[in-house]
Amino acid sequence: MTDPLMNLYNRAPIAVESGKGVWLTDTAGRRYLDCVAGIATDALGHAHPALVAALTEQAGKLWHVSNIFRIPGQEALAQRLVDASFADCVFFANTGTEAVECAIKTARRYHHVKGQPERIDIVGFAGSFHGRTYAAINASGNAGYMEGCGPRLPGFVQLSVDDAAAIEEAIARPTTAAVIVEPVQGEGGARALSGEWLLRLRALTRRHGVLLIHDEVQSGMGRTGKLFAHQWFDGAAPDIMALAKALGSGFPVGACLATAEAAKGMTPGVHGTTFGGNPLAMAVGIAAFDTIANGETLANARAASADFFDRLEDLRGRFPDVIAEVRGKGLLIGLKMIPNNREFMGIARDHGLLVAGGGENCVRLLPSLLITPAEVAEAVTRLEAACVAARGAMAQAA
């Protein structure tokens, strides 16, 4: 039989049927402890009652009207985001890559209306991931995503985060519009950039009149234990920020946040969306925001992170032939593996634990922010069993 789906995903051999909290159940009835969480999206776990209630209530009232009318839910969620961040205004989209597209447009439009249309260059970094649309893959510069998609777009520059001189030189160029960076690289291997690095970048962009874009699609909305990852460092706030994933906690919601100054070029007709900010999305987004932003959820994320890192460092010490490094921030955790990371993901799955892949041969643990101490312990117990099996497989192959 021909598969009616386009052949774009190398899917794991399980068919999921239902979820509750950190647990997923497949169609055969087997339960898995889910440390993928829809790739850092299901921040409140599966079927959280507040999200189910919000979606159910709104579904009986109004789904979609487009942005030719006011949508009260947009105004309510935008105000929450503005009150909790550096931003003055918000544009709602459906996905992270759409939020990044809006961020790029916002940066270039800013310079255009200031009479500097030559300032179009967007400086990004190796190991980054900003989405799958054409501008987003150009911003990331990953050759694997670019191959066969035609010529690279002009106005995109990729550098190494470790090349301080090249970063300074690029920011000083008269054609540079903005720098885009993930405070914690997700797909790039759970690499957390230091406060010193982020603050230096902020100072350089200010010095040269360049806008700073933070892609917090994965690191934002509580993932690191703060509402936004850059909030760990006073003075690191950007001019523009892309959000998605946990913003809807499983429902498609994206947002581009900006200061009033940075957004001065975003005028009627310049940008838009049909579905972004629809009433269903806003109802779920408000419920997700209110649950994530409260102190208890963020405190639980920080405590769970500390517990995970302690247990994982101990595990690494006992399995140095399997785990080379524990890294990341908050509940965006990376394990740099000795065996092939994709093979290890399969071994973990065989032991009832779901983990995500990542760059630099990492696996990522991206669990619900509400994961309990008992569930953290169970996740590491299953991870240990996977390490034992991986060690055995490597010994057998030697």
**264 included as an active-site residue:** no
Rg of the chain over Cα atoms, rounded to whole angstroms, equals 21
3-state secondary structure of 205: helix
**309 included as an active-site residue:** no
**162 included as an active-site residue:** no
3-state secondary structure of 55: helix
Which is the catalytic residue, given 105, 226, 245, 336? 245
Contact yes or no for 196/162 (Cβ under 8 A)? no
Burial of 16-52, coded b for 16+ CB within 10 Å and e otherwise, reads eeebebbbbbeeeeeebbbbbbbebbbbbbbebeebe
CB atoms inside a 10 Å sphere around CB 109: 20
Query: SS3 letters for 103-136?
Result: HHHHHHHHHHHCCCCCCCEEEEECCCCCCCCHHH
- 254-258/240-243 β-pairing: antiparallel
The CA-CA-CA angle for residues 4, 41, 291, to 5°, reads 140
**CA-CA-CA-CA torsion for 179, 183, 188, 191, nearest 10 degrees?**
140
Q: Please state, in angstroms and as integers, the Cα–Cα distance from residue 367 to each residue in 45, 274, 353, following that order.
A: 8, 32, 11
Residue 194 is given by DSSP the state P
Which is the catalytic residue, given 86, 92, 125, 129? 129
Which is the catalytic residue, given 42, 121, 215, 239? 215
Write down the number of H helices and E strands in the chain. 12, 17
- 362-365/356-358 β-pairing: antiparallel
Query: SS3 letters for 129-169?
Result: CCCCCHHHHHHHCCHHHHCCCCCCCCCEEEECCCCHHHHHH
**Crossing angle of helices 164-172/195-207, nearest 10°?**
20
Residues with active-site annotation:
129, 215, 245
